[in-house]
């Protein structure tokens, strides 16, 4: 795998050469637009909004809309004027406990590989953070954009996880209700029992992208049928539960999950993994 970025980690006066590698991959199925008659690919065109004419790459510039319908054009020289002195440095600002960071801020992880000559310093930073149960909060510029990030310990490697700035998080206040919902003690007790009965140790391996797997099965069936249509009744979406009477709904849920769990935990685990 090729690194997507090379630079260094800096904390205090220490600089460690590193390379970044993607730590995740999105398993999306890619589809092409085709002309129905002959299945010829339909390409995306760059067209001007005002007249619908196609625009060549050489005639495209980057503009910022500072007012509705008004733009200022930025060229390569303008971007070069921005101070990117730290472009190739993961500059650790401070070390903080991981539990103090709201998980909503985390965005995308990358593996960090020690560069030649930096192996010992890399290991020293890793073990110092592990011992102190801390993560490094850093700034890094990647592809002309500055990111907030954390440097984390993951086994024997370090991970750089890009983060959202606090100003990028939408305040959920618009979802808050004007009135406080009244929760009865009996309802809360039963809901707590249901949560307890459905609780297990975290095992990420038992979760799969069911939609992707089902879609691949449909694709395989159509390929086997020579691309012909395959008639099958679409699955009906489950109807929303009527939760006006929460107690009765919780009772049924406990009967399905709670009782089975208390009597046969192993059987319940198999059902959840399916």
Which residue range(s) make up the domain with 136? 5-27+83-168
Q: What percent of the chain has pLDDT over 90?
A: 23
pLDDT of 265: 43
**Is residue 62 in some structural domain?**
no
Is 80 exceeded by the pLDDT of residue 165? yes
Q: 76 pLDDT band (50/70/90 cuts)?
A: confident
Q: Hey, is 175 helix, strand or coil?
A: helix
Domain final residue, candidates 141, 168, 195: 168
Is 50 exceeded by the pLDDT of residue 272? no
Domain final residue, candidates 168, 198, 230: 168
- Are residues 107 and 182 located together in one domain of the fold? no
Is 60 exceeded by the pLDDT of residue 114? yes
- Are residues 99 and 207 located together in one domain of the fold? no
pLDDT of 264: 41
Residues 158, 149: contact at Cβ < 8 Å?
no
**Is residue 47 in some structural domain?**
no
pLDDT of 82: 67
- Are residues 14 and 110 located together in one domain of the fold? yes
Is 60 exceeded by the pLDDT of residue 248? yes
**CA–CA separation, 82 and 74 (whole Å):** 12
- Are residues 138 and 211 located together in one domain of the fold? no
Between residues 50 and 155, the one the model is more confident about: 155
- Are residues 99 and 162 located together in one domain of the fold? yes
- Are residues 160 and 229 located together in one domain of the fold? no
User: Please, what is the angle between helix 185-197 and helix 246-253, to 10°?
Assistant: 20
pLDDT of 22: 83
pLDDT of 128: 95
Q: Give the helix/strand (H/E) hosting 151.
A: strand 145-154
Number of domains, the chain: 2
- Are residues 19 and 99 located together in one domain of the fold? yes
pLDDT of 85: 52
Domain final residue, candidates 168, 189, 216: 168
Closest Cα to residue 4, out of 80, 108, 94?
108
- The pLDDT of 191-212, averaged and rounded, is 84
- The pLDDT of 112-116, averaged and rounded, is 92
- Are residues 136 and 15 located together in one domain of the fold? yes
Q: Hey, is 274 helix, strand or coil?
A: coil
- Are residues 22 and 133 located together in one domain of the fold? yes
């Amino acid at each position: 795998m090729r690194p997507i970025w090379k630079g260094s980690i800096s904390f205090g006066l220490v600089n460690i050469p590193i390379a970044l590698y993607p730590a995740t991959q999105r398993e999306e199925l890619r589809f092409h637009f085709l002309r129905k008659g002959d299945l010829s690919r339909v390409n995306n065109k760059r067209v001007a909004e005002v007249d619908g004419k196609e625009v060549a790459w050489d005639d495209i510039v980057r503009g910022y809309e500072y007012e509705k319908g008004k733009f200022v054009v930025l060229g390569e020289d303008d971007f070069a004027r921005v101070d990117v002195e730290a472009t190739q440095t993961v500059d650790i600002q401070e070390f903080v406990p991981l539990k103090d960071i709201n998980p909503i801020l985390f965005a995308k992880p990358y593996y960090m590989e020690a560069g030649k000559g930096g192996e010992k310093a890399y290991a020293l930073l890793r073990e110092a953070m592990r011992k102190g149960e801390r993560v490094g909060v850093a700034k890094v510029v990647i592809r002309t954009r500055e990111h907030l990030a954390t440097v984390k310990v993951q086994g024997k490697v370090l991970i750089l996880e890009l983060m959202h700035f606090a100003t990028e998080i939408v305040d959920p206040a618009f979802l808050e209700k004007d009135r406080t919902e009244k929760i009865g003690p009996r309802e809360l007790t039963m809901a707590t029992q249901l949560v307890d009965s459905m609780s297990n140790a975290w095992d990420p391996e038992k979760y799969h992208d069911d939609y992707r797997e089902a879609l691949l099965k449909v694709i395989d069936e159509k390929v086997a049928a020579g691309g012909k249509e395959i008639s099958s009744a679409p699955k009906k979406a489950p109807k929303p539960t009527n939760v006006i009477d929460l107690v009765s709904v919780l009772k049924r849920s406990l009967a399905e999950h709670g009782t089975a769990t208390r009597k046969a935990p192993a059987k319940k685990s198999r059902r959840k993994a399916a």
